[in-house]
Structure 1
Amino acid sequence: MYKTKPTIVLGFHACTESTARKLISDSGGFTPSGNSYDWLGHGMYFWENSWYRAVQFAHDRAITSPAVVGAVLHLGYCLDFTDSESLSYLSSSYSALKDTLEIFGKPLPINKPGSGLSSDDLLLRDLDCAVINFLHSQRERENRKRFDSVRGVFWEGNDIYPGAGFKEKNHIQICIRNPNCIKGFFHPREVDTAYDVV
Structure 2
Amino acid sequence: MNETIRIYGYHGTSAEAAAAILQTGFNISSNEYDWLGKGVYFWQDAPLRAWTWANQNYPENPAVICSSIRLENCIDLLDIKWFPFIRRVYNSFVAEYESTNQTLPQQNPERSKAHRLDCAFFDYTVEKVLQPEGQIVKAIRSVFVEGDRIFPNSAVFDLAHVQIAIRDTSLIEESCLIEIPGGI
Q: Which runs of 5+ in 1 are unaligned?
A: 114-119, 192-198
Aligned to 1:97: 93
- SS of equivalent to 2:94: helix
Contact 1:93 1:132 in 2 (8 A): no
TM-score normalised by length of structure 1: 0.84
Counterpart code for 1:17: A
Instruction: Give the alignment of 1:1-198 within 5 angstroms.
Output: 3-5=2-4, 7-25=5-23, 27=24, 29-62=25-58, 64-113=60-109, 120=110, 123-137=113-127, 138-142=129-133, 144-189=134-179
RMSD (Å), alpha carbons: 1.7
Q: 1:46 to 1:121 in 2, by over 3 A?
A: farther
Counterpart code for 1:174: I
Shift of 1:103: 0.8
The total of aligned residue pairs comes to 180
Distance 2:50 2:65 in 1: 9
Q: Which runs of 5+ in 2 are unaligned?
A: none
* Higher normalized helix content (fraction of residues): 2
Contact 2:68 2:175 in 1 (8 A): yes
Shift of 1:84: 1.7
Shift of 1:69: 0.7
TM-score normalised by length of structure 2: 0.90
Q: 1:13 to 1:190 in 2, by over 3 A?
A: closer
Counterpart code for 1:89: F
Distance 2:136 2:21 in 1: 25
Q: 1:190 to 1:125 in 2, by over 3 A?
A: closer
Deviating runs (4+, > 3 A) in structure 1? none
